[in-house]
Amino acid sequence: MTKDGGKKDNKAQQYGVTPQSVDFNDWYNEVVKKADLADNSPVAGAMVMKPYGAALWENIQRWLDDRFKAMDHESLVFPTLIPMGFITKEADHVEGFAPELFTVSKIGTEVLAEPYVMRPTSETIIGHMWSQWLNSYRDLPFLHYQWGSVFRAELRTKAFLRTSEFYWHEGHTAHADEAEARAEVRRLLDLYHEFCRDVLALPVVRGEKTASERFAGAVATYSIEGMMRDGKALQSGTSHYLGQNFSKAFDVKFQTREQKEEYAHTTSWAISSRIIGAIIMTHGDDFGLMMPPRIAPVQVVVIPVGRKDNFDEMVAEGEELAAELRAQGLRVKVDKREGVTNGFKYNDWELKGVPVRIELGPRDLEAGVVVVKNRNSGEKETLSRAEAVAGMPARLAAVHDWLYQRATDFMLSHTVEADDYATFKGKIEEGHWVRAFHCGDADCEKGIKDDTKATTRNVPLDDSEFFGERGEGACVKCGQPGAYGKRVIFGRQY
């Protein structure tokens, strides 16, 4: 990025996006808006997902939804409102969510005796329904999920990352025993990992959260954590083992095979619209977005390069080329806009991060060739039309691999080990993740957060492909023995 940095800065300036390298935060906000992903709304803390962002979210939903169903999960639709009394039934849960609740206290002109809250998450109302549906061990497992939005007040909002209303699926399952419930928690964590790695080209670390970072009401919380291009972490998905906490609060019990009464073991798990923030901040560059090909709303953009007298003809040719690409199952757009320059179009689609661009001009047409450029490369290639079409799936796969490799290299080169607190603090300050031993004490953890704004991201699983190796050492802060048998990841986070 240094080689032609000057040229890029000019281009960025010309196009009106602050380069990533100048101000990451401005870059993010400008790209979100200019790429048509989202806009601010007149509702405090809520965004509008615009067509390009909504299309991305729909692609994410379809892939995950197909997999949930293939794993025998059933979708349901629960109400958006929850009786206030439900939230207070699980002690940790209410403590975690009370400050963020949206309260509905009037319907029409009637003031409600017991208000409702707009769901911050649905464990409570689902628990209530399960208690009515569950009788025997034969009814289990319940493997449920729903798509929708939830509401948690945010003071400082940022599109996709922190909004008062956000979009997600929430999975909720109930099982006859702990082992099966824990296996479900792991199965979903692994699915999220696969989705990030193979579809979004996001390297993520699978691990368990420390106690102070657990979901309100959970026995154990697992997460996938990714590193953004400013070195901060983004928790990209979570999977919780809830033990019998919610089933006891909501009386979710059943008769066992041995005719005894037992409470169900429950789980919940989610990926939210935050993942779009992860895509933006992991893959972007000074020019704008870089969409991972398998989820990109537009995988290939065809730009007919004509003059006034032959533009229609070139558009028709472009449509034909697009049809050949679509016949391979690809998502293709032909840019037919008139009244804007080719240069404007190139910049626009680069900003939107479309993985591959094809330029089609009259002379190319005569010669039977097209000009192909990957979003992640400065090189234009002139290829025979047939070659360009036939090679497109492999080209997109190569872009995916390139993105995953770049992100992995970045994460690895911005993660360090530290065994003394001075080094720890320095590296956090530089925007790194730091791998360190920790005593497991919540107050000690809080001390680190107060000093550095860094929190524990997770304790990587033994079979995590990143940072999972076991080891022993003294707490980087207080010197007590490490609690986890391995280094914990610390970092600042979104």
Provide the binding-site residues for its own copies, judged by CB under 8 A.
39, 41-44, 46-51, 53-55, 57-58, 74-83, 86, 98-109, 116, 118, 125, 128-129, 132-133, 138, 144, 149, 151, 153, 164-165, 167, 339
Closest to its own copies by CB, 87 or 227: 87
Closest to its own copies by CB, 125 or 278: 125
CB of 124 to its own copies, least distance (A): 10
Could you give the CA distance from residue 473 to residue 451 in angstroms, rounded to a whole number? 21
Angle at 382 between CA 381 and CA 383, to 5 degrees: 110
Q: Is 14 exposed, middle or buried (0-12, 13-18, 19+ CB in 10 A)?
A: exposed
Could you give the CA distance from residue 233 to residue 494 in angstroms, rounded to a whole number? 6
Handedness of CA 182, 184, 185, 190 (dihedral sign): positive
Closest to its own copies by CB, 100 or 417: 100
Closest to its own copies by CB, 90 or 359: 90
The pair of structure tokens assigned to 127 is 């628990």
CB of 449 to its own copies, least distance (A): 22
CB of 98 to its own copies, least distance (A): 8
CB of 159 to its own copies, least distance (A): 12
* CA separation, residue 19 to residues 36, 251, 275, 377, 493 (Å): 18, 54, 22, 17, 21
CB of 362 to its own copies, least distance (A): 26
Closest to its own copies by CB, 44 or 442: 44
CB of 109 to its own copies, least distance (A): 7
Handedness of CA 57, 60, 63, 67 (dihedral sign): negative
Closest to its own copies by CB, 125 or 249: 125
Are the C-beta atoms of 473 and 484 separated by less than 8 Å? no
Other Cβ atoms closer than 10 A to 455:
20
Closest to its own copies by CB, 90 or 364: 90
For 417-469, the DSSP string reads E-SSHHHHHHHHHTT-EEEE-----HHHHHHHHHHHS-EEEEEE-TT-TTT--
Could you give the CA distance from residue 92 to residue 95 in angstroms, rounded to a whole number? 5
CB of 231 to its own copies, least distance (A): 30
Q: What would you measure as the largest C-alpha separation in the chain, in angstroms?
A: 83
Closest to its own copies by CB, 8 or 144: 144
CB of 107 to its own copies, least distance (A): 5
